Structure 1
């Protein structure tokens, strides 16, 4: 692809990470994310957590944005008491990624939320989350899989029109949909597996699964195409 679009991907901020002889705080991202961007025809740029006030400036040179998976969203962000099964908070990452999402929506930059990224997109638009669901992360640290069914007429259905088996690892899910949010795929148990905004609001899609661990490039290719067009 000539003029490959530049896609920013949000990252983890972890303390006391060991590698080699070092034990240091580190910015991390599973390699599957940048590799998926690259395989889909884009250039990947990793975005470490920063001051939320700088989100628009960080986003300005980018053609598209991916909010990566990761820890549970702090329930206070959507006005809910903490369920004891909800994981430890990541307040710096919540604040930074919410600012990135807001900046991307305001600038109409193509945006893809993956797992936590989809949940945070829904929260950013005033929605809520179910803090625990069974059956979508059965073995700790091991990705599972299950089929998802697209909703006809949605952007996601235009990308993946058939029922598809996807790699999954999550124990939370979308509950009340945010402003303007459209569900665009479901699991067999009714869990919302993809969300999007109307085309009039730009290219915005969230998927509950982890395309970076699988071989299907279509969702990321669609983001890259949208980013190339926007650029």
Structure 2
């Protein structure tokens, strides 16, 4: 493979309207900038309406990011009942990534969708409980994050705590099998999880590292993904023993 990792950014959940949205452009620019700064070549991947083509797509990529600032809870932010959208394309993508063991980071909405796609559940978050972190407080929402001892998150943080942004109204209820919580807020809300498999690098974070006040934590997440993606790419293109087809 080349000297740089090629990492996909799934933008399907951002593009649910035919109208051009400056907010979508802003988010994509942030994520692209973070991956580029970490030394990767970012590739924006459009929504895929079926499974056809997923394997061919993942054959070309060394890592993947699914991100977003929306929530996956049943209650839409505009107050209407029922899901805001049907994220089946994201579910298919995450499951294919897990099956192929492609290095993966889920951010914000991607964190929630990763858990749902792999069999977990989410719940609405009561953001108005006094004495608890304001996970969706409108003015500079920040709160402490406590990584678990020995976790990848603790290694990335380089400390026993960090301050992260927070703008979500949805929280993990039950973690999917194969995932483990590795960082929580002071009220016990899961803020990060990791794959239990030694063969699959997968990290999910509820906060937005691309807009983090903790530069060390932010850059560490993307740097780690790029390192894992490079290793995955080397395995993808390693020569097979004679007689074994690719």
State the TM bucket, normalised to the shorter chain.
0.7 to 0.9
Q: Residue 73 of structure 2 contacts residue 170 of structure 2 at CA under 8 Å; is this kept in 1?
A: no
Q: Normalized against structure 2, the TM-score is what? A: 0.79
Please give the alpha-carbon distance, in whole angstroms, between the structure 2 residues aligned to 1:86 and 1:171. 15
**How much does 1:189 deviate?**
1.1
Structure 1 unaligned segments of length 5 or more: list them.
Answer: 21-26, 76-81
Deviation track 1:157-190 (CA, whole Å, cap 9, x = no partner) reads 2222311111221110101111121000001111
Rounded Cα–Cα distance in structure 1 between residues aligned with 2:116 and 2:184: 18
SS at 2:182 equivalent: strand
Q: Which runs of 4+ in 1 moved over 3 A?
A: 82-88
Matched, 1:97 2:94: no
Closer, same or farther: CA 70–55 of 1 in aligned 2, 3 Å: farther
SS in 1 for 2:16: strand
| Residues 211, 87 of structure 1: alpha-carbon distance in 2 compared, 3 angstrom cutoff | farther
1:213 aligned residue: 211
For 2:3 and 2:35, how far apart are their aligned partners in 1? 14
Q: Which has the higher strand share?
A: 1
Post-superposition shift, 1:133?
3.2
Aligned pairs, how many? 215
Give the structure 2 partner of residue 8 of structure 1.
8
Relative to structure 1, is the Cα distance of residues 28 and 103 closer, same or farther in structure 2, using a 3 angstrom cutoff? farther
RMSD across aligned positions (CA): 2.4
The structure with the larger Rg is 2
**Structure 1 residues 64, 18: CA separation in 2 closer, same or farther (over 3 Å shift)?**
closer
Q: Point out where structure 2 has 5 or more consecutive residues left out of the alignment.
A: 128-133, 234-246
Q: Cα 1:18–1:147, aligned 2, differ >3 Å: closer, same or farther? A: same
Q: What's 1:145 paired with?
A: 142
Residues 60 and 164 (structure 1), Cα distance of their counterparts in 2 relative to 1, 3 Å cut: same
- Once residues 225 and 198 of structure 1 are traced to their aligned partners in structure 2, the CA distance between those partners, rounded to angstroms, is 19
Task: Give SS of 2:142's match.
Answer: strand
